[in-house]
Amino acid sequence: MDQNLLNLILALSAGELLHNIIEVQNIRHKVTRLHSYIHNKPFKEMKLNINTRSKSYAISLVGFFVFVVPFYIFFNWLSLSLNTSLHTIIVLLIVAYSVTAVLVDQYHIEIEKVTRPFMHKAKK
């Protein structure tokens, strides 16, 4: 198997792990902001206001290159063997899946606290 292809897959896997963490943390941040707005509490806004789809896609595209290119260079420098590369890819994907599951679970807990007061009670 081509080492460049393996390094690209490694870089994409590592980049996806970071992307998942950052994206879910941003979602959780928005829940915190919503909770503050609902309860008229002060909230420090982020300096970068991503409030349009074009900004969202642009930051994602920039993030893709900011994460993947350095990881690709790093994995080229490491020059891992085929087996080590495949094992690393598997570990990165399992970690990405696990971290995403935990962070999304935290999001569900946080959004439940925000939406609970607005839920209508079922009629008996």
The per-residue DSSP string of 99-120 comes to HHHHHHHHHHHHHHHHHGGGPP
CA distance linking residue 4 with residue 48, whole number of Å: 35
Residue range 89-109: mean pLDDT, rounded: 95
CA distance linking residue 32 with residue 45, whole number of Å: 11
| 14-33 confidence digits (pLDDT tens) | 999 999 999 999 899 989 98
| 28-66 confidence digits (pLDDT tens) | 998 998 999 998 998 888 777 777 889 889 988 998 999
The reported pLDDT for the residue numbered 42 is: 87
Q: Is the pLDDT of residue 89 over 90?
A: yes
39: DSSP letter:
T
Q: Is the pLDDT of residue 87 over 80?
A: yes
Whether this prediction's pTM lies above 0.85 is answered by no
Contacts of 25 (CB under 8 A, 6+ apart): 103
